[in-house]
Amino acid sequence: MNRIDYKAPPLRIFAQYLAGHKRLFFLDMGCSVCVALVDLVFPWVSRLSMYRLLPDKRYGAFFAVMALLAAAYVVKAALNYVIVVFGHRMGVLVEADMRRDIFEHMQKLSFSFYDRHRTGVLMSHITSDLFEVTELAHHGPENLLICSLTFVGSMLVMLAVNWKLALALALVITLSLWFTLAQRAAMRRANVEVKRKTADIYAAIESSISGIRTAKAFANEDRESEKFDRANALFRSAKTEYYRAMACFQSGMEFTGGIAQVVAIAVGGLLIMRGEMSYVDLITFSLYISVFISPIRRLTQFSEIYMQGMAGFGRFLEIMNTEPAVTDAPDAKELKDVRGEVEYRDVCFSYGNGVEVLKNVSFRVPPGGSLALVGPSGGGKTTLCSLLPRFYDVTGGAVLVDGQDVRTLTQESLRRAVGVIQQDVFLFAGTVRENIRYGRPDATDKEVVEAAVRAEIHEEILLMPDGYDSFIGERGVMLSGGQKQRIAIARVFLKNPKILVLDEATSALDTVTEQRIQASFDELSRGRTTITIAHRLSTVRNADCIAVVEDEHIAEMGSHDELLAKNGVYAALCRAQQLK
């Protein structure tokens, strides 16, 4: 990622992105200067011709000058081609840089960030919010340079030709522009609102598509359409407000262009009648007014691009200025030679809403040992496990691996040592091979197969249409629940972590499939420190230690037989499941 200070003013940040493509930028600016000079030269050369060449009927010189002007406009057309092609290329590169940076930054943000933001809204930050940046990066500097040169240059020439008429025009145009530019703030506010509503539409689409099977299962397609229609209606309203503000802005710009011509004819006619101005100078003024108004019209067209681009850029900066809740300490060290000892010391945790999820939880799992966490839903079991790989940070106490506080370790090395398999396995839309290899991207095909064999999924993969290259669909929709779990197990086999977390990994499976997969888990757990969350107590009765998590703390802890002898909460759970 580029070293960019995202706390700096937005335009300075934008300039830093442009600075990454200096050659294209200066090529664009150089061509823009030449285009502006051609526009400025034409009226002045025409004035000289009318004063010196036409009265003397110097046909040769006159048509030679016209030929040069025609050649200048050919060059201008070629320069405009360069500006469009290479300027837009620069814009695309800037947009791609921003999209790369925001994606990389979002990879670093913590679980808590994703808890608060919908997927569709985040997608809009990476996609639609940056679409207009291409146009802004290209047309922004180019238009400002061309408009500044033509605006200032034509005004200086008009002052030289007749200062009285030039001042009259300047006064009228200044008043008109003051009113017009006052509408820009309204346009910007309206455009930011349009971006927000666009994000809502992305969120509605993402939610509906992700849950399409559920919607169809409950015959709720009409309800999903209604939800989308509400989001679409809000977008339509925001867009209408934006176009209303834009209409005021553009109408003011059009009025400025028209009133300038009227003032030029009226004041110029008065000066001609007084003998203070010639017809040639009035014609020159008319030509320069066209040059003078051209940047104003260009800015009118650019205003929408600017508003949309800066609104999207502003939302881009919102994400870039979001700091990860979990970060490596400045002196964080690598976790090496992992033995797998896990210890929780008086751990407390809250999600930031003032309600504690865990209170003074303490336990220790020796290297290669196994701990089972059981208890009612909502007791904090999953949260407890999420603190180990630092998906969240404790608010009190400490979590230690091999005697080291996890907050003193680098997140990358810590998470390499921890393998997690959850109830809701996430598989990427791709092939079986790609999903298993995700555990260790540099693994060979032979190692992928070995991992699948150990997970007892190899034979089933060979029966698929394309074997290991079979496409499994979005989130593995073309696989059964048992197949998805075993591919996830193979993925962890390939990763080969010293610590294993099984978060209700079999609770969604039928008993027969669970028994088959349990053998894979037993193989996977061998020689590893294992923490298992389970509702089916039969799957954890052989754990070295069982902890009953209830009401944000550990109510009981011991082996299966010890807890039965206590005749407490665990014994009651066993009776409920008819387990002895």
> Residue 286 belongs to what H/E stretch?
helix 279-320
Mark whether 519 and 411 lie in a shared domain.
yes
Rounded CA separation 277/254 (Å) = 28
316 shares its domain with 347? no
User: Could you tell me if residue 566 is inside a domain?
Assistant: yes
Domain span at residue 533 reads 342-576
For the chain, how many structural domains are there in total? 2
Segment 67-90 mean pLDDT: 89
Model confidence at 257, pLDDT cuts 50, 70, 90, reads low
Query: What's the chain's Rg over C-alpha atoms?
Result: 35
CA gap 114, 104 in Å, rounded: 15
Considering the domain architecture, whether residues 155 and 225 belong to the same structural domain is answered as yes
1 assigned to some structural domain:
no
Whether 136 and 48 share a structural domain: yes
Q: Are residues 400 and 510 in the same domain?
A: yes
- Within 162-278, where are the H helices? 163-182, 184-210, 212-217, 221-273
Q: Bridge-partner residues for 530, per DSSP?
A: 370, 500
pLDDT digits (tens, 9 = 90+) for 536-546: 787 788 889 99
In a domain, 325, yes or no: no
- Predicted confidence (pLDDT) at residue 33 exceeds the cutoff of 60: yes
Instruction: Tell me what the pLDDT averaged over the chain comes to.
Output: 82
> What is the spatial distance between Cα 379 and Cα 325, in angstroms, rounded to a whole number?
23
Give the CA diameter of the chain: 122
CATH number of the domain enclosing 453: 3.40.50.300
Q: Give the pLDDT of residue 1.
A: 44
Residue 131 and residue 261 share a domain: yes
CATH of the domain at 166: 1.20.1560.10
pLDDT digits (tens, 9 = 90+) for 460-507: 899 989 999 999 887 778 888 788 888 888 888 888 889 988 887 665
Does 270 lie in the same domain as 135?
yes
Indicate whether 68 pLDDT > 80.
yes
